Chains A and B, each alone.
Chain A
């Protein structure tokens, strides 16, 4: 089996390539023209295809001999329009090219950000409500892009009768990506911890990559939409503690109850900021909710559908992220 992986040199992509190779899958890695690959140490069996989804004209060739597409490419920084152009219009161009090929199977990397946290009560799972039009346009650029990317993909799938698996990872963490926006608000070296006992919907990058590699080859994944989290998640306070110890980052943690933070932000949003959407995300109630609302997170469907358990437990993930001197907690 040959897999085409977009965003293959990204934080998740490089681990997905490794996980596919470990399962004996041939890999064609799509990377941008100027991407530097030396540090990745890919074996010569990895076929590199250089293209930019925004502009490259030769995307059709990327699908020659490909059995499954793992579409991970997305722009996660920059302005809203730049993210939309690369993530959404880029997906359109990629899937237009796929439609001319014999490849009929794809695995899409979506995101927890497509869920409407404001309307979700208690537990967030695959049945939780998604953002709706026009409300989605009040969200941040990343959310709008990922929501639209999934929408575009499902339209192509419906039109061409493809097999699709949509994977929605929570916060992906790993080496050099230990800090998560779910941890609250940084104030210089210090951290405002909103809702310190809230659990984080998190998946270590190697565990997450394992799910992608499995979904690419396992027929039970076809037609499924699965949330990808390693388990119920660590509490913000304790994960932040591990992160600060592991990264050697000094600073104070100031805990603030979630209910207090959200009411202060709601009040300020309605009065001081007069519902302006150009203020920082942490000052917009719905965007704050999508980062910090205390909910339960489940991976029951993922476990039951693919019979999956995370290859790495939390302590192993800490060691992979922060090195052998990573913090270890007693009794875990």
Chain B
């Protein structure tokens, strides 16, 4: 299958590294507004052709799948053109700047008989998938609540809060934090389903070009509740996922390999915390070593993206169900819409 990318920046590197390792995928073309950026990516990953005009790329390379890895505001137009050229589209999150654009995109994909996949990469990390496996096996019990909290310093001058060059994510409602809402919503959706209502708190605690630097949300969903959050101030950086089931509870840090479970044990009840603590300690030590080793090689925290792309290309090849369906994308983005700030920052 011929794959092409529009956008050769930081996240494109993760897509390219994965695609290069996927069997049956040919890296046919890459496009970036900067000729040097496009050419460098082509040289590094052995891509046959590079372009600075995506329409020229679609016409000449005729890719079967287009990965849209540009800043969010450009996703809609690039994805529409890719559908018009007969390609499936894998688009980075957030798929579009507004829900109306997403609905238009979904309609266009259906008219063209093509697929749209949004990158919900953290859903496919090992930890959420292992929790999901235990839920499906029945040992976890029904999920009652999920907590997702991202602690990430985005106030430094070299990223989202660059005082010299406004970050593209600042065009989104909610600013830089809105760039992370699809992660929070996709994980909440995975464990408790589509949302019914949502309450949010958006605040700005520190001076920066960002409109908000803290976010909390409580979601009432079809199968349970979710508490979602983003903190720019809490350190160290972490991506906490806690899932509460009727028989077990799971805790994971998706920036690392840490995943622990706590559940029933065949010991007297007063001794359960003691044995749980021993086992948790052992698991955390093992995860510490695994986290260190994965820094040397492989996708690291982007392991979910690699898994998502592998499953997507398998599904496109054999016609089976996609790992991220249009129903998922719409439900997740409805939740994202409900979480967005209703008012501009003071």
Contacts and interface: CB of A to CB of B under 8 A. Distances in A.
28 contacts: A32-B164, A34-B163, A34-B164, A54-B165, A55-B165, A55-B166, A77-B158, A78-B158, A79-B10, A82-B10, A82-B158, A84-B36, A85-B9, A85-B34, A85-B37, A88-B37, A89-B34, A89-B36, A91-B36, A92-B35, A92-B36, A137-B43, A144-B40, A276-B297, A278-B295, A278-B297, A278-B300, A279-B296
Interface in A213-266: none
Interface in B21-44: 34-37, 40, 43-44
B9 A81 contact: yes
Contacts, number: 59
B43 A133 contact: yes
A274 B297 contact: yes
B295 A88 contact: no
Nearest to B157: A34
Interface residues of B, number: 19
**A-B pairs, 3 with minimum CB distance:** A34-B163, A89-B34, A81-B10
- Tier of interface size on chain A: 20 to 34
A321 to B, nearest CB: 27
Given A137-B43, A276-B296, A81 B13 contact: yes
B131 to A, nearest CB: 27
A311 to B, nearest CB: 33
Nearest to B9: A81
Contacts of B37: 84-85, 88-89
Contacts of A137: 40, 43-44
A148 B296 contact: no
A33 B163 contact: yes
A52 B164 contact: yes
A285 to B, nearest CB: 15
A283 B35 CA distance: 32
A188 interface: no
Contacts of B43: 133-134, 137
Nearest to A273: B296
A152 interface: yes
Contacts of A33: 163-164
Contacts of A78: 158
Interface of B: 9-10, 13, 34-37, 40, 43-44, 158, 163-166, 295-297, 300
A152 B36 CA distance: 7
Nearest to A56: B165
Contacts of B300: 278
A294 to B, nearest CB: 28
Contacts of A152: 36
A134 B44 contact: yes
Interface string A142-169: 0010001001100000000000000000
Contacts of A52: 164-165
Contacts of A79: 10
A277 B166 CA distance: 31
A278 B296 contact: yes
B36 A88 contact: yes
Name the residue in B35, B40, B43, B297 with the highest tally of chain A Cβ atoms < 10 Å from its Cβ. Answer: B40
Interface string A41-66: 00000000000101100000000000
B8 to A, nearest CB: 9
Interface string A78-110: 110110110011011000000000000000000
Nearest to A78: B158
A274 B293 CA distance: 11
A54 B34 CA distance: 11
Contacts of B295: 278
B48 to A, nearest CB: 14
Contacts of A91: 36
A242 to B, nearest CB: 32
A327 to B, nearest CB: 35
A272 to B, nearest CB: 9
A92 B295 CA distance: 33
Given A151-B36, A278-B296, 7 more contacts: A55-B166, A84-B36, A85-B37, A88-B34, A88-B36, A88-B40, A148-B40
Interface in A148-201: 148, 151-152
Contacts of B36: 84, 88-89, 91-92, 148, 151-152
Contacts of A55: 165-166
A298 B193 CA distance: 68
Nearest to B166: A55
Interface in A63-78: 77-78
A89 B40 CA distance: 11
A219 B13 CA distance: 43
Contacts of B158: 77-78, 82
A279 B40 CA distance: 22
B157 to A, nearest CB: 8
Contacts of A88: 34, 36-37, 40
Nearest to A151: B36
A151 B36 CA distance: 9
A79 B13 CA distance: 12
A84 B165 contact: no
Nearest to A272: B296
A52 B13 CA distance: 24
Contacts of B164: 32-35, 52, 54
A194 B70 CA distance: 43
Name the residue in B13, B43, B163, B164 with the highest tally of chain A Cβ atoms < 10 Å from its Cβ. Answer: B164
Contacts of B165: 52, 54-55
B284 to A, nearest CB: 23
A74 to B, nearest CB: 14
A157 to B, nearest CB: 15
A278 B297 CA distance: 6
Contacts of A276: 296-297
Contacts of B40: 84, 88, 137, 144, 148
Contacts of A77: 158
A33 B164 CA distance: 5
